[in-house]
Amino acid sequence: MTGIQRLATLGFEVSDLDAWERFAVDVLGLTVGERRTDGSLALRMDERAQRIVLHPGSADDLAYLGFECDDEAALRALVGDLAAAGVAVTEGKPETREARGVASLFHCEDPSGIPLELSSGAATAGEPFRSELVRSGFVTGDEGVGHAVILASDIEATDRFYRKLLGMRLSDRIEGEVLPGVAVEIRFLHANPRHHTIAFASLPMPKRIHHFMIQVGAMDDVGHAYDRALDAGVPIANTLGQHPNDGMFSFYALTPSLFQVEFGWGELRVDDATWDDSAVYDRLSTWGHRPPAPTPNSNPTATPTAQEG
Ligand SMILES: [Fe+2]
């Protein structure tokens, strides 16, 4: 079966690059890679030259999801299948391919119009990766950069696209109240042993992305990141907690672009040979993941922040 192997990179269009750099480096513990002449900034989480790329612009939203195939043959087979299914796929320009540091690059869109980049042959950085703040390191490798929870304008069309065309598999579903009285179905799909690479819901959202998740190798590093976020005055969207489906111990913070990042540890891994994809959970969190407690100066009528796996 053709398909993608992992979410390798995330591209964001951000209006305040300096604030993002401080947030990514000083709070999340990423390191700065290449600063490009077009103003974009590559951030590193491992031996790769880029995992998260910040592009200056006004959208403050996801610019693209960077999916990866293990080799060029698999990528070209996938592109052929997408074209045969009527998906418009274009080959990346040499300058874009060079900027992304990949050997082969194609572009298409998912059913909600979210730009996807399909690639193979990603470059590693010349320098070894070392984060002074995240001693356990980030969980990447074959599992990719992490996961993204995205808008699905049509949940069934999105499900067909990511499963039938990109080759992902269903992990499980959550049907729960994301806000009081607002029930929604969230579907979680995996492309490798990471519990989910993509999750989506047809929830009205102001942006293409609700949150992205990055994972560290030790529970302590979630606690340290939580302390750094509090010390830096970063708004916490959801306090420390744990999800019932992926078992992730995590918190959610607002990025400078006002979508969220989930910072977590301990996610369950999926073995396709034995995994039962029929589970439906009725809550987003087993414990925690609460909106922050109101302070005397906070607006008592403010709506709590929606959270999703
Ligand atoms: Fe998540």
Q: What is the DSSP string of 151-181?
A: E-SSHHHHHHIIIIIT--EEEEEEEEEEETT
Is there a common fold for 6-120 and 141-288? Answer: yes
For ligand 1, the distance from its centroid to the CA atom of residue 264, given in whole angstroms, is 8
For ligand 1, the distance from its centroid to the CA atom of residue 33, given in whole angstroms, is 25
How much is the mean pLDDT over the chain?
93
**pTM score:** 0.94
Tens-place pLDDT, residues 237-262: 999 999 999 999 999 999 999 999 99
For ligand 1, the distance from its centroid to the CA atom of residue 213, given in whole angstroms, is 5
For ligand 1, the distance from its centroid to the CA atom of residue 162, given in whole angstroms, is 17
Residues of the chain with pLDDT under 70: 1, 295-309
E strands present in 191-293: 198-201, 209-215, 236-242, 249-254, 260-265, 280-281, 287-288
CA dist 30 and 3 (Å) reads 29
Three-state secondary-structure class, residue 236: strand
Does the 6-120 domain belong in CATH 3.10.180.10? yes
For ligand 1, the distance from its centroid to the CA atom of residue 244, given in whole angstroms, is 12
What is residue 309's predicted lDDT score, i.e. its pLDDT?
A: 60
For ligand 1, the distance from its centroid to the CA atom of residue 261, given in whole angstroms, is 8
For ligand 1, the distance from its centroid to the CA atom of residue 217, given in whole angstroms, is 16
CA dist 150 and 245 (Å) reads 18
For ligand 1, the distance from its centroid to the CA atom of residue 63, given in whole angstroms, is 18
What is residue 295's predicted lDDT score, i.e. its pLDDT?
A: 62
Q: Per-domain residue ranges for the chain?
A: 6-120, 141-288
What is residue 159's predicted lDDT score, i.e. its pLDDT?
A: 98
What is residue 46's predicted lDDT score, i.e. its pLDDT?
A: 97
Tens-place pLDDT, residues 180-192: 788 889 999 999 9
For ligand 1, the distance from its centroid to the CA atom of residue 215, given in whole angstroms, is 10
For ligand 1, the distance from its centroid to the CA atom of residue 211, given in whole angstroms, is 7
Contacts 24+ apart (CB under 8 A), 288-294: 288/238, 288/239, 288/240, 288/241, 288/242, 289/238, 289/239, 289/240, 289/241, 289/242, 289/243, 289/250, 289/251, 289/252, 290/238, 290/239, 290/241, 291/237, 291/238, 291/239, 292/235, 292/236, 292/237, 292/239
CA dist 206 and 301 (Å) reads 20
CA dist 289 and 183 (Å) reads 17
For ligand 1, the distance from its centroid to the CA atom of residue 251, given in whole angstroms, is 9
Strand partners, 62: 12
What is residue 292's predicted lDDT score, i.e. its pLDDT?
A: 81
Does the 141-288 domain belong in CATH 3.10.180.10? yes
For ligand 1, the distance from its centroid to the CA atom of residue 44, given in whole angstroms, is 20
For ligand 1, the distance from its centroid to the CA atom of residue 7, given in whole angstroms, is 14
For ligand 1, the distance from its centroid to the CA atom of residue 90, given in whole angstroms, is 30
For ligand 1, the distance from its centroid to the CA atom of residue 1, given in whole angstroms, is 27
For ligand 1, the distance from its centroid to the CA atom of residue 94, given in whole angstroms, is 33
Q: How many CA atoms lie within 13 A of 88 on its CB side?
A: 5
What is residue 64's predicted lDDT score, i.e. its pLDDT?
A: 98
CA dist 228 and 217 (Å) reads 17
For ligand 1, the distance from its centroid to the CA atom of residue 91, given in whole angstroms, is 31
CA dist 139 and 136 (Å) reads 9
What is residue 302's predicted lDDT score, i.e. its pLDDT?
A: 43
